[in-house]
Chains A and B, each alone.
Chain A
Amino acid sequence: MTSSIQFLSRFIDASAQRFSERVAYQDHNETISYGALSDRTSQLANLLKSNGLEKGDRVGILLRRNLLSPIAVHAVLKSGGVFVPIDPSSPPQRIATIARDCQIRFLVTENSSAESVKAALKILQTTSSDTDFDVVGLKNKFETTSVKNFAWEELAEFSKSFPPANLSGSDLAYVMYTSGSTGPPKGIRHTHSSGYHYALFSATTYGIRSDDCIGSHSPLHFDMSTLGYLTAPLVGAATTIVPAAFTKFPVNLSDLIESTKITIWYSVPFALIQLLNRGILDQRDLSRLRWILYGGEPFPTRQLQRLRKCIPHAAISNVYGPAEVNQCTYFHIPPFKDDPDLLNDNAAVPIGQTWDQTEALIEAINSESAVDEPEEGELCIHSPTMMEGYWNRPDLNRDCFLELVRNNGTKAKFYRTGDLVRKDKFGVLHLVGRVDRQVKIRGHRIELDQIENVLTSHTNIEEAAVFAIDNPPDSKQLVAVVLVGETTGNMSSSEVTEFAKEHLPKYCIPEVVIIESELPRTSTGKIDRLKIQDNSDLTNSTIFKKASV
């Protein structure tokens, strides 16, 4: 399988040979062509190599969503190094934790992160020796001599050509850290082979061509960013990197989609719902937008249907797959103009079918008797796009894979996704919920995600977060936090309860309903359920009041 792979390290130079003048990356006021990107990545690769970077060394990237980020990613790959994205809004402690965990040799950053970088270095230097890193991207040299810093301007002194690194498909290319909200962050190890196959399969699944422009809404540390950072340069497409400020202002975001002529959009559902509610889409020319991809979490179906009506010529796809496998299934929704009646407000959109060269296996859980091919259970995936394993975590690597011997005697390693799925009679996969979002209350097995689905089918409820809290002595209590939007009508908590009573079995009706007009989000735009749960004030039916902002 690895004989014909193209190495991620060569994507930029290969596209630069074909389309030197064409835009590779852009934001609202800058562009960089493939030719210029080839030069800049070679210069940075030369800087790293001449200062001691060796094949397989890890390089942290602590950059905001700007045009320095593709230079950093592809320079590290070119040099034979392994890039490790770090959220620039991380506290210094988390930066230090990741740097120490995968022993970062360099950190590529920019001046606005100077204070965080210095604080992280201080933590590393006081807690252990020999774990600090050199820095690229700050304006001023460090006062202490142990850490070197190179300003971005110093790249100009280095050669614009770089001999291709000698790599194999199993060499590590990048390590993505999960948010780690429930424990220490886990580093997901992807190789040149898994990254290449993701780029190849995503390009073929969505028909991405060199004349496309991808709207990359996700920050680099989120796995959805790989469409812009890896797939686009494989085919020579352009990518619009959405700067952070634009993600908070839908009016500016819709303007960016129009002005940079985005043809393929990829984001979490939240960004699209914001665009629908406050993006003045009726005043924008979105005729070039031909395919909208969403992933990261389910899209409330009623909101999705609004999106289809609003952009009737665009196809939409539900992209599914944990970062550990990059992506593994897709479900295509044809343009509204071709099939207006496709979606039913009360039914969640399926995750669909597996993509190329990928096997799905459903493993029964909580089952008393073994079933050969259960229709519902935990989804396990074997794919050339999947990770090697977690960085430095033999304990997790033992548990997260399932070793199987197929009927023909070959062995395969399947990744346990932790997601419960159901296969329908047509072979289409449906997401039921997270294995760990299944709770038992007074003997009833309850899927929290399905309660959320039902609640969001109400026209006045935009989004919902349902969780179970301990409520001794009566085992657990269900709490629903619902987002009632400004574009919809008002709703009281008793009306929500009434609606739940009409559509759910008695044991699934939330005992406490909290109405909010905004919900906390993770840095990637997903609903932050843990934060909601931790900050809920049940007595006053509100969230955030307990939060120390």
Chain B
Amino acid sequence: MRSELLAFVQTELIGGKDGESLSVEDDLLTDELIDSMGVMRLIAFIEETYHCKIPVQDVTIENFVSVDAICRYLEKSDSEG
């Protein structure tokens, strides 16, 4: 899941930025690596790929700050769901 998400963020959302390589811990939000449309595309990608629906109250900075944070959130909600 981590590599799949990392690849999506890197190529679809950040793509073209000098080919810098992104790590799972990199902060996607503070330095504005992805914009608000990027956030929505990311959510749509996750919901489609992992057949889940992310509740509105879970779309937070804490859960989406990095690829690592997203994976931790998805694993947690999967084990709870």
Q: Which residues of the other chain, A, contact B31 by a CB distance below 8 angstroms?
A: 64, 112
The stretch of A242-250, A347-355, A370-378 in contact with B is A242-250
CB distance from A471 to the nearest CB of B (A): 28
A247-B15 Cα distance, complex, nearest whole Å: 22
CB distance from B2 to the nearest CB of A (A): 21
A241-271 interface bits toward B, Cβ cutoff 8 Å, 1 = contact, 0 = none: 0011111111110000000000000000000
Q: Are A89 and B32 in contact (CB under 8 A)?
A: yes
Known contacts A64-B30, A283-B57; 6 further A-B pairs (Cβ under 8 A) = A89-B32, A248-B29, A249-B39, A249-B60, A249-B64, A274-B36
- CB closest residue in chain A, given B64: A249
A283-B12 Cα distance, complex, nearest whole Å: 34
CB distance from B54 to the nearest CB of A (A): 11
Q: Are B29 and A244 in contact (CB under 8 A)?
A: yes
Q: Are B59 and A247 in contact (CB under 8 A)?
A: no
Q: Are A280 and B32 in contact (CB under 8 A)?
A: no
Which residues B12-67 have CB closer than 8 A to chain A?
A: 12-13, 15-16, 29-32, 34-37, 39-41, 44, 56-57, 59-61, 64-65
- Pairs A–B under 8 Å by Cβ, sample size 13: A64-B30, A88-B32, A244-B32, A245-B29, A245-B61, A245-B65, A249-B61, A250-B59, A278-B59, A280-B56, A517-B44, A518-B40, A548-B16
Q: Which residues of the other chain, A, contact B34 by a CB distance below 8 angstroms?
A: 248
Q: Which residues of the other chain, A, contact B13 by a CB distance below 8 angstroms?
A: 549
A199-B32 Cα distance, complex, nearest whole Å: 30
A residues whose Cβ falls under 8 Å from a Cβ of B: 64, 88-89, 112, 243-252, 274, 278, 280, 283, 517-521, 523, 525, 548-549
Q: Are A248 and B56 in contact (CB under 8 A)?
A: no
Q: Which residues of the other chain, B, contact A283 by a CB distance below 8 angstroms?
A: 57
CB distance from A27 to the nearest CB of B (A): 12
A249-B16 Cα distance, complex, nearest whole Å: 25
Q: Which residues of the other chain, A, contact B32 by a CB distance below 8 angstroms?
A: 64, 88-89, 244
A59-B29 Cα distance, complex, nearest whole Å: 27
Are A521 and B57 CB-contacts (below 8 A) given A244-B29, A548-B16?
no
Q: Are B61 and A520 in contact (CB under 8 A)?
A: no
CB distance from A132 to the nearest CB of B (A): 22
Q: Are A251 and B36 in contact (CB under 8 A)?
A: no
Q: Are B56 and A251 in contact (CB under 8 A)?
A: yes
Q: Are A549 and B16 in contact (CB under 8 A)?
A: yes
Are A246 and B56 CB-contacts (below 8 A) given A89-B32, A549-B15, A549-B16?
no
